[in-house]
Amino acid sequence: MSKPRSGAHQAPACDASFDEAEACKLWIHCSRCYELFVEKKFAFFLLACHHVFCEKCIKVAAGRTPTDAPIYECSTCKQSVRGRQLTNTMPKHFKDFFHPEPHILADDFTEKFQRRNHLHFDRFKERKEMEMNKLSKDIELAKSLCQKRLLEMQMLRVERKKLSQRMRHIKLANQKAEMQRSAQAKLNRSLETTKSSSPAPVSIRGRIRGRGASQAPSRRSSKDSIRSSQANRRQVTGFRHQPNHSFNL
C-alpha cells in the first residue's frame, strides 16, 4: 500500500478510474464519515477495537509517557485504545486485515473483519441511494409543479394582453365619443349665437294675422263708442215722454 501523507489535501479522485489493485481497496472507509482510503485525502488508522477511522474523525489522547504510543478515542464503541496508521510498514498481522484475497490466508477473523466493513459500507450506499431516489422524486415533482405554474403564467400573460388590447379599444372609443360630444356642443353654441344676433323671419300668414289682430281691437273700440253715445242720447232728462204709436186704443 502507498503511504498517504498525513494532513495532505489532494485533489479528489472520485471521478478517476481505479485500477484493479485500488479497486480491491474500495471497501476500506472511515467508520464515521465514510471517506474512502483510495482517494488518499487523509491518513487512516486501525484501532485495537478493529474500527477504521480517518485522521479528521479520530481523537488523540496523550499517553502516560512521551515514549508511549498514542491513545485514540473510538467514536463507535467509545473506548480509548491504541491504534496504528495504515501504511506498508505496519506489522504483517495488522496488514493482513486489508489483504486483497483474504480467503488464501485461512484466517476467519480477517475475512469476518472485511465482511463486516463491506456490510457497513453497503448499508451506507443503500441509505444514499434511498436519499438520491427521494431527491429525484422531489425534483420530478418540483419540475411538474414548475411546468404547471409556467403554463398558468403563459395563460395569464395571454389574458393580460387581451385585456390590455380591450382597454385600449375602450379608451379610443371614449375619446372618439368625447370628441363628437364636444363638436356637437360647439355646433349648438354657434347656432344659438346666430339665432340671437339675427331677427326671426316672419311668414306672410303671420303678418296677415298680425294685421287682422291689430285691426280688430280698433273696430271694436269704434263700435263701443257709438253704442255709448246712443245710450247717452236715450237717457231721460225730464218729464217729456216720447209718443207711442205702437197700437190704437
Contact assessment for residue 44 and residue 4, using Cβ atoms and an 8 Å cutoff? yes
- Say if residue 53 is in the same domain as residue 122: no
162-193: per-residue pLDDT in tens?
A: 999 999 999 999 999 999 999 999 898 888 88
Domain count, the chain: 2
Boundaries of domain holding 155 = 103-186
- Write the pLDDT tens digit of every residue in 187-236: 988 888 888 876 655 555 555 555 555 555 556 666 667 676 666 565 55
Task: Flag whether the pTM goes above 0.85.
Answer: no
Q: 131, 152, 186 — which closes off a domain?
A: 186
Co-location of 113 and 94 in the same domain? no
Position 13 scores a pLDDT of 42
Domain end call among 131, 154, 186: 186
Same domain, 67 and 118: no
Please count the other Cβ atoms lying within 10 Å of the Cβ belonging to residue 46.
22
201: in domain: no
Q: Note the pLDDT of residue 32.
A: 92
CB 45 within 8 A of CB 53: yes
Region 68-79: what's the mean pLDDT?
83
Average pLDDT over residues 22-39: 90
Mark whether 30 and 94 lie in a shared domain: yes
The four Cα atoms 56, 62, 67, 68 give a dihedral, to 10 degrees, of -90
Cell of 15: 471521478
* Predicted local distance difference test score (pLDDT) of residue 12: 41
Looking at the structure, tell me whether residues 107 and 176 fall in a common domain: yes
Task: Name the nearest CA neighbour of 121 among 49, 55, 25.
Answer: 25
* Predicted confidence (pLDDT) at residue 14 exceeds the cutoff of 60: no
Which residue, chain included where needed, has cell 429525484? 136
Q: Which residue has the cell 489522547?
A: 61
Last residue of a domain, one of 100, 133, 168: 100
Residue 6 binned pLDDT confidence (cut-offs 50, 70, 90): very low
Other Cβ atoms within 10 Å of 102 Cβ, number: 19
Q: Are residues 48 and 61 in the same domain?
A: yes
Judgement on whether residues 25 and 96 belong to the same structural domain of the protein:
yes
Ramachandran area for residue 26 (φ above 0: left; ψ -120 to 50: alpha; else beta): alpha
Together in a domain, 145 and 60: no
